[in-house]
């Protein structure tokens, strides 16, 4: 069918209602809902056809075909393959799940091809924030006492101990940001030193030793597989903290005569710790001591255009100041891993990342699902179609600096610069691993409006579009949708950097002000989670 046969209902400038991201792209993104029959026109010489008629309604944030694509041919966005046409696609059609699929395809893996030196900011010109310097040299953005359950059986007692310490009871300890309960649904019924045991212990140890935790108290049942004493011994917790706990090997319910008496003993133990933790005040610290967890959830078609690139610019600025950023969610770099490998500083770093990707391929096959099951119904409603498309947008959070280190789940991060951690794509499991690895603040992008928060690391949420921001503004810290409305992305990124420094120095983020963050602590078990 020719364009002339479609009888356009109206004519609008292409740039007013759609956005093409790369000259090689086969699709553009609708900036507003497009009605069937609308003709989009552009000036000659632009990277899009001079006239396209919309062939059916297209929601905002969804894809519009710029040119015909034959069945089984690749479709590109960001200049990269996001899937393959499952049937012929005409110019002007809505491109989504009904005509685009995630067929596997070969990707070229080259290590280090895009590595460039980072222009570091001179030390005398680097930013500072107010943080808590720890005995091991790391710096916290918060000063919590963490009550940590070794097993689900001790979760109730753990919460009761922590919840006793209301803001009113902490008035006399202004340098203590709170007493938090870190509980979980694991701790028993797995082999000692098996994969789940190792992961759980590494995660709990990472929280006990976290720079945002001034002191911790372990609470166990007494007969669980994940014994408190073994956790302390294997991770040398007693020596590493520098804070003497009244129960250094854990407070055990069976030894203390039940839940009520354990709660009473736990409250007494925390009361002993409070003046010690309160003795550490905030002091001026370099931004190089920030370690940012880069995360996204409830993504949409704009996440990879506004919010994620804004975070990427901030990530690059923090790295130039000597700091560290940590990307996660291995299933959500799938189809874009080849771009990260080109940034690996060594073949060893690249090979470790590639091995993690291969593990997820095998894991998905073993568990009977596909990695492309990852885009959620909400992601798809927001315009994302395949895991490849989602991944290409997600890696924009990591900016453009070299990949300096790759880590296993909850492994302590020691490299500086841009690093990667192997985690599931699920937000709760991913952030838990990143924070256990040492991240002291979380930058979290969303397009649909995720209300995520986390303790002990404060979470800053960045919304990709103004409509979602307006709906859930009480939960969003920054509106990156302003980029679509003409505001320079560098201006929005600078605002996010200032907000990051302010939150690191003690300002409450939106989720933090509402007390959100304990339920999101979820150590990963390697079975059945994608």
- Nearest-CA neighbor of 198 among 365, 364, 436, 456? 436
Closest CA to 330 of 356, 312, 310, 305: 356
Average pLDDT over residues 338-350: 98
The Cα–Cα gap between 435 and 285 comes to 20
Percent of the chain whose pLDDT exceeds 90: 90
Top CATH class of 144-281 equals alpha beta
**Above 80 in pLDDT, residue 5?**
no
Rounded mean pLDDT of the chain? 94
Kindly provide the b/e burial profile for residues 213-252, where b requires at least 16 CB atoms within 10 angstroms of the residue's own CB. bbbbbbbbbbebbbbbebbbeebebeeebebebebbbbbb
pLDDT band at 305 (very low <50, low <70, confident <90, very high): very high
Backbone angles phi, psi at 6, to 5 degrees: -90, -10
Can you list the alpha helix ranges (DSSP code H) found in 321-443? 337-341, 347-367, 377-381, 387-394, 427-436
Residues 6+ apart with CB under 8 A from 182: 146, 147, 148, 149, 158, 204, 207, 455, 518, 521
Burial of 16 (0-12, 13-18, 19+ CB in 10 A): exposed
Averaged pLDDT for residues 309-327: 98
Alpha carbons 91 and 84: distance in angstroms, whole number: 15
Q: Is pLDDT of 404 > 90?
A: yes
The confidence score (pLDDT) of residue 367 equals 85
Among candidate residues 61, 62, 23, 16, the one with its CA nearest the CA of residue 39: 16
DSSP assignment of 85-102 equals ESS-B-TT-EESTTTEE-
pLDDT at 368 over 90: no
For strands 144-149 and 478-479, give the pairing.
unpaired
Which strands make up the sheet holding 80-85, listed edge to edge?
A: 74-77, 80-85, 100-101
pLDDT at 44: 75
Range from 46-50, 61-65, 100-104, 509-513 carrying the lowest mean pLDDT: 46-50
Rounded Cα gap, residues 208 and 215, in angstroms = 7
Does 475 have pLDDT greater than 80? yes
Fold assignment, 3-101: 2.30.130
d(CA 70, CA 514) in angstroms, rounded, equals 51
pLDDT at 243: 81
Is residue 529 predicted with pLDDT exceeding 50?
A: no
Predicted local distance difference test score (pLDDT) of residue 299: 95
Q: What are the residue boundaries of the structural domains of the chain, listed by start?
A: 3-101, 144-281, 284-513
Q: What is the pLDDT of residue 528?
A: 46
Distance CA 206, CA 212 (A): 11
| Per-residue pLDDT at 3 exceeds 50 | no
Single pTM value for the model: 0.95
Residues 6+ apart with CB under 8 A from 143: 132, 175, 176, 177, 212, 214, 277, 280, 282
pLDDT of residue 376: 86
Residue 316's pLDDT band, with cuts at 50, 70 and 90, is very high
- 2 pLDDT band (50/70/90 cuts)? very low
Name the pLDDT band for 268 (thresholds 50, 70, 90).
Answer: very high
pLDDT, average across residues 364-392: 88
Q: What is the dihedral of CA 302, 306, 307, 311, to 10 degrees?
A: 150
**Per-residue confidence (pLDDT) for residue 7, from 0 to 100:** 54
pLDDT tens figures, 206-264: 999 999 999 999 999 999 999 999 999 999 998 777 788 889 999 999 999 999 999 99
User: Nearest Cα to 223, choosing from 178, 197, 254?
Assistant: 254
Q: Answer for the pair 211, 440: CB distance below 8 angstroms, yes or no.
A: yes
Look at phi and psi of residue 306 and say left if phi exceeds 0, alpha if psi is from -120 to 50, else beta: alpha
Q: Say what the pLDDT of residue 45 is.
A: 65
CA 203/CA 444 separation, integer angstroms? 20
- The predicted-structure confidence for 428-459, as pLDDT tens digits, reads as follows 999 999 999 999 999 999 999 999 999 999 99
- The C-alpha angle with vertex 321 and arms to 137 and 121, in degrees rounded to 5, equals 130
In DSSP terms, 327 is beta-bridged to: 294, 420
- Taking alpha carbons only, the member of 98, 253, 264, 102 closest to residue 187 is 253
Q: 111-126 pLDDT, tens per residue?
A: 999 999 999 999 999 9
Taking the C-alpha atoms of residue 111 and residue 346, their distance in angstroms, rounded to an integer, is 7
In angstroms, rounded to a whole number, what is the distance separating the alpha carbons of residues 471 and 485?
A: 17
Query: Peptide bond preceding 456: is omega within 30 degrees of 0, i.e. cis?
Result: yes
**Residue 459 parent element (H or E):** strand 459-463
**Residue 4 reports pLDDT greater than 70:** no
């Amino acid at each position: 069918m020719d364009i002339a046969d479609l009888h356009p209902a109206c004519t609008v400038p292409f740039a007013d209602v759609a956005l093409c991201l790369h000259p090689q792209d086969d699709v553009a993104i609708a900036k507003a809902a497009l009605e069937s029959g609308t003709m989009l026109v552009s000036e000659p010489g632009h990277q899009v056809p001079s006239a396209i008629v919309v062939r059916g309604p297209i929601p905002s944030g969804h894809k519009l075909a710029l040119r015909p694509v034959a069945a089984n041919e690749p479709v590109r966005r960001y200049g990269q393959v996001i899937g393959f046409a499952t049937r012929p696609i005409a110019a002007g059609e809505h491109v989504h799940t009904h005509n685009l699929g995630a067929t596997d395809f070969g990707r070229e893996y080259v290590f280090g091809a895009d590595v460039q030196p980072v222009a570091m900011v001179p030390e005398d010109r680097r930013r500072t924030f107010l943080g808590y310097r720890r005995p091991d040299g790391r710096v916290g953005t918060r000063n919590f006492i963490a009550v940590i359950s070794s097993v689900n059986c001790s979760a109730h007692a753990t919460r009761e101990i922590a919840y006793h310490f209301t803001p009113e009871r902490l008035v006399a300890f202004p340098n203590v940001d709170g007493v938090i309960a870190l509980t979980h649904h694991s701790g028993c019924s797995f082999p000692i030193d098996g994969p789940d045991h190792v992961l759980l212990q590494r995660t709990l140890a990472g929280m006990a030793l976290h720079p945002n935790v001034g002191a911790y108290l372990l609470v166990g049942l007494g007969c669980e597989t994940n014994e408190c004493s073994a956790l302390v011994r294997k991770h040398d917790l007693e020596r590493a903290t520098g804070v003497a706990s009244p129960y250094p090997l854990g407070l055990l319910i069976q030894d203390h005569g039940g839940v009520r008496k354990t709660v009473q003993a736990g409250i007494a133990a925390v009361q002993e710790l409070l003046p010690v933790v309160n003795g550490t005040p905030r002091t001026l610290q370099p931004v190089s001591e920030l370690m940012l967890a880069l995360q996204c959830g409830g993504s949409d078609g704009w996440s990879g255009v506004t919010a994620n690139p804004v975070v990427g610019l901030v990530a690059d600025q923090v790295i130039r100041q000597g700091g560290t950023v940590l990307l996660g969610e291995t299933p959500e770099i799938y189809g874009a891993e080849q771009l990260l490998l080109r940034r690996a500083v060594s073949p060893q770093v690249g090979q470790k990342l590639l091995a993690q990707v291969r593990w997820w391929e095998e894991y998905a096959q073993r568990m009977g699902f596909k990695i492309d099951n990852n885009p959620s119904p909400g992601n798809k409603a927001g315009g994302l179609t395949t895991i490849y498309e989602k991944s290409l947008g997600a890696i924009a959070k990591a900016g453009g600096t070299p990949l300096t280190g790759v880590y296993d789940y909850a492994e302590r991060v020691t490299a500086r610069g841009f690093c990667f951690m192997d985690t599931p794509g699920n937000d709760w499991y991913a952030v838990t691993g990143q924070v256990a690895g040492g991240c002291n603040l979380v930058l979290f992008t969303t397009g649909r409006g995720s209300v995520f928060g986390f303790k002990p690391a404060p979470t800053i949420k960045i919304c990709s579009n103004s409509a979602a921001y307006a709906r859930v503004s009480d939960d969003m810290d920054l509106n990156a949708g302003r980029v679509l409305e003409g505001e320079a992305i560098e201006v929005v990124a600078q605002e996010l950097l200032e907000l990051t420094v302010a939150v690191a120095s003690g300002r409450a983020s939106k989720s933090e002000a509402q007390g959100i963050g304990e339920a999101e602590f979820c150590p990963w078990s390697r079975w059945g989670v994608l």
